[in-house]
Every structure is written in C-alpha cells, then in structure tokens.
Amino acid sequence: MEQLWSLMPIFFEGFRVTLLLLVVSGVLALVLGTVIAAMRISPVPALRGFAAVWTEIARNTPLTLVFFFTAFVLPMLGVRAPYILLAFIALTYYTSPFVAEALRSGINGVPIGQAEAARSIGLGFGQTVSLVVLPQAFRMTIPPLINVFIALTKNTSVAGGFFVVELFATTRQLANDNGNIVIPILLTAAVLYLVITVPLGFVAARLEKRWVVKR
C-alpha cells in the first residue's frame, strides 16, 4: 500500500498528460469536425465529395496506424514537431469524422421549417447554417459529442506507444518497475480513467433524457 501511494505523483503526471491530450485534441476535433460537417452539406459537390471521402477513410483506419503515420511518416516528410503535437494531430484526425457525424445528425434533427423560414427571408447558405441551423443543432448534438469525448479519453491510451508518456504508458512503466504490485497498479490506472469517463457518461445520459422528451 505504501509502495503504491509513493507512486501516485507519477500516476498524476501521466493523468495530466492524458487530460492534455483529451482537451486539446477534443477542441481541435470539434473545430475540424464542424468544418467537415459544413462541407458535407455545402452546395459545392467537390467539397461534399472530399468530406465524404475524408470521413470514410478516417473512420476505417485503426488508430494505431494513424499514430504510425503521424509519428514516423510525417517526420520523414519534414514535419519536425514534438511528439505530443503529432499525437494531437493523430487524435484530432481520428476523432473528427465522429464529431462530423454527430453534428450531421444534430442538423438533421432541426425541423426543416427553420431552414425554409431562414431562406424565405433571404439568408444565404452561410448565414442560414451559422445563425439558424447550427445553434439549434448544437443543443441536440451535445450528448453524442460527449460520447465521442469518452471514446477519445480511452483512445489517448494508444498514444503511449508513440513517444507520449500518458497514463497508460506510465502504468506500464510502473508495472515493470514494481513487479510485486502489478495488479494494484492496473487498478489505480483503471480508476483514474473512470474518473473521467463515468461522470461524462452520466452527463450525456441526463442531457439526452432531458432533450428527448422535448423533441
């Protein structure tokens, strides 16, 4: 028990990096996902096609291979960045299609009369989407978005194999150094992950419950 307690500072350092990965990649994925979603419903077929292809490929590549690309192939192409930035890129790329799909479903949930009304008073595409559709879609999108963030939290553990010392990599290092308490170390790591994911899950369920009735 003493031994485990003395390791807590190291755990928290890994936890901090995981939180950093989650927050930064989450925000970037939100931005990128919104752009992709907007491209999906845009009037330009080229943009629609690009967004569709991007979503398909990004959803069907395992995260490990995405990380391989950002950690090894990008530097070969001359991208010299600290590995944590490359991890941000990988996680953002991987999460963006899920954000885009969540947004799309939110947009689909907005009654069509809203868009018709906006058009009938002369608003263009950009104005309709940004002033009328997205604000309403956003409310309905929050629960699925939270689920996407829960998945992102768990996905940060893959970064541990690619030069970013987050919680999972820390756990493995500690388990190796302290071969006598491997199981308690893993349990501590599990608890730390649950500290993030379980509250997020509850929030998502509560929000969805509230808004399902309203629909």
Partner 1 sequence: MKRMRLPLIALAAAGALALSACASGDTPGAEETTAPEVEAVEFEEGTTMAALADAGTITIGTKFDQPLFGLMGPSGTPEGFDVEIGKIIASELGISEDKIEWKEAVSANREPFIQNGEVDIVIATYTINDKRKEVVSFAGPYYMAGQSILVLADNDDIESEDDLVGQPVCSVTGSTPAAKLAEIGAEPVLTDTYSNCLEPLRNGTVVAVSTDNVILAGLAAQNEGEFKVVGKPFTEEPYGIGLALEDTEFRMWINDVLEKAYEDGRYEEAWNKTAGTVLPFVEPPAPDRY
Partner 2 sequence: MTGTSVLFDAPGPRARRVSLILSIVSLVAILGLVVWVGMLLAAPRESGGITLPGMFDPSRWNIFADPQVWTSIGRGVVATLQAAAVAAVGAIILGIVFSLMRSSSIAWVRIPTAWLLEFLRGMPVLLMMLFILLVASTGAFWAVVIALVLYNGTLIGEILRAGLAALPRGQREAALSVGMREFQSKMLVEFPQAFRQMLPIIVAQLVVLLKDTSLGYIVGYNEIIRNNMNNLGSFYGNRYMFSLFAVTLVIYLVINLTLSWFARWLSRRTASGGGRKRKTADPMNPAALLEAEARADEADRAAANRGLGKYDGTGR
Judged by the rule CB under 8 A, the positions of this chain that interact with partner 1 are 72, 75-76, 80, 83, 160-163, 165, 169, 172-173, 175-180, 182-183
CA distances from 215 to 22, 52, 103, 116, 135 (A): 31, 28, 17, 19, 16
Q: Which of residues 3-32 bind partner 2 (CB under 8 A)?
A: none
**By C-beta, is 112 or 183 nearer to partner 1?**
183
Which residues does 148 contact at the CB level (< 8 Å), separation at least 6?
29, 95, 98, 99, 102
Separation CA 170–CA 71 (nearest Å): 19
Contacting partner 2 (CB under 8 A), which of 33, 101, 134, 164? 101
> Residue 2 belongs to what H/E stretch?
helix 2-40
- Check the CA dihedral 168-170-172-174 and report its sign: negative
Contacting partner 2 (CB under 8 A), which of 69, 83, 138, 163? 69
Q: Which does 173 bind (CB under 5 to 8 A by kind): partner 2, partner 1, none?
A: partner 1
**By C-beta, is 8 or 117 nearer to partner 2?**
117
Tokens 């595409």 sit on residue: 125
Q: Which does 83 bind (CB under 5 to 8 A by kind): partner 2, partner 1, none?
A: partner 1
Choices 2-10, 20-28, 83-91, 201-209 (CB under 8 A): range interacting with partner 2: 201-209
Between vectors from CA 21 to CA 63 and to CA 105, what angle results, nearest 5°?
65
Q: Which does 98 bind (CB under 5 to 8 A by kind): partner 2, partner 1, none?
A: partner 2
Confirm or reject binding of residue 43 to partner 2 (CB under 8 A). yes
- Report yes or no: 131 and 123 within 8 Å, Cβ to Cβ: yes
Contacting partner 2 (CB under 8 A), which of 84, 128, 149, 162? 128
Separation CA 207–CA 138 (nearest Å): 12
Contacting partner 2 (CB under 8 A), which of 115, 165, 181, 203? 115
